[in-house]
Amino acid sequence: MSASGSGVVPANGIHIAYETFGDRGGRPLLMVMGLGAPMLVWHPDLCKLLAGRGFFVIRFDNRDVGRSTHLHDAPQPDIRGALRRGDVSSAAYTLDDMAEDGFGLLDALGLTAAHVLGASLGGMIAQTMAVRHPGRVLSLTSIMSAPSPTLTYPTPEAVAVLTRPPAANRGAFIAQAIDTGHVIGSPGYPPDDEWRVELAGQRWDQGLDPAGVMRQWMASLASGDRTEAVRGIRALTLVVHGDSDPLINVTAGRRTAELIKDAELMEVPGMGHDLPRPVWPALADAVSALAAKAE
């Protein structure tokens, strides 16, 4: 089973690239990926598994990544100024804008509402979608994410691998991807280096945009502490977090679940900042149960 549809559509004043899996008549599930990550990072086998549970799965490239619009003419983001002085004036957009991109994609696909699942930065975007248009978010699944960038508590090792200079060639990029996976991945599960090599090659061949990654990072910083907004979420919510996440500490997931009324917390032993294949069936079961309860 391959993607059932794909395209690039106008959405929220830009263009968004997407792919779908499953029957159009299924429960719509919008999957939002994290910082600098194209929709390719959603493993197609995971998308097929969810489609097999009755979902019409939609994965897409956020702005500034993959085949969606890249804001090359935007100001250079001053990450250092944001982190040291709280100056976010160089932000080209915020999480609100990225949330509206998701709604714009739903509009383009003729969908009034969807179940929304997001990972890492994508979880922050998914949370923002539930805040901005609660009637359009049927349920919310927030994976390895946080209600505020100040609650992530990354380890020095995780920061080091993610802030090193970009690779100069394809081979170096693949080597970096494997190394990064070993640092921020799941210590409780065997590393899937075969997939990491395949994915890194696809991402290199598609084209990288380091400046776009910085613009996305700045968007999260410019959006600040969203604690009170997240506290107001009323969508039925599942929070998933690994207890061994070195990039966004599990305490961020626990805090997210505490803030959202009646949220369910699925804390996964041995999981880091990725989604190992053995976790997928339990995740699919939990997302399916949440959707059924919401409907």
Q: Considering only CA atoms, which of 287, 171, 167, 182 is closest in space to residue 236? A: 287
Q: Are 28 and 115 in contact (CB under 8 A)?
A: yes
Cross-sheet strand order for the sheet of 264-268:
5-11, 14-21, 55-60, 27-32, 114-119, 137-143, 237-242, 264-268
Q: If DSSP states are collapsed to H, E and C, what string results for 116-154?
A: EEEECHHHHHHHHHHHHCHHHEEEEEEECCCCCHHHCCC
Report pTM: 0.97
Domain covering 5-153+211-294 in this structure, CATH number = 3.40.50.1820
Question: Is a pLDDT exceeding 70 seen at residue 1?
Answer: no
pLDDT of residue 295: 86
Mean pLDDT of 24-44: 98
DSSP 214-232: HHHHHHHHHH---HHHHHT
Token pair listed for 45: 């086998």
Could you give the CA distance from residue 282 to residue 269 in angstroms, rounded to a whole number?
13
Taking the domains of the chain in order of start, what are their residue ranges?
Answer: 5-153+211-294
| pLDDT per position as a tens digit, 161-216 | 988 998 999 999 999 999 999 999 999 999 999 999 999 999 999 999 999 999 99
245 neighbors 217 (Cβ within 8 angstroms): no
pLDDT at 2: 65
**pLDDT tens digits for range 99-112:** 999 999 999 999 99
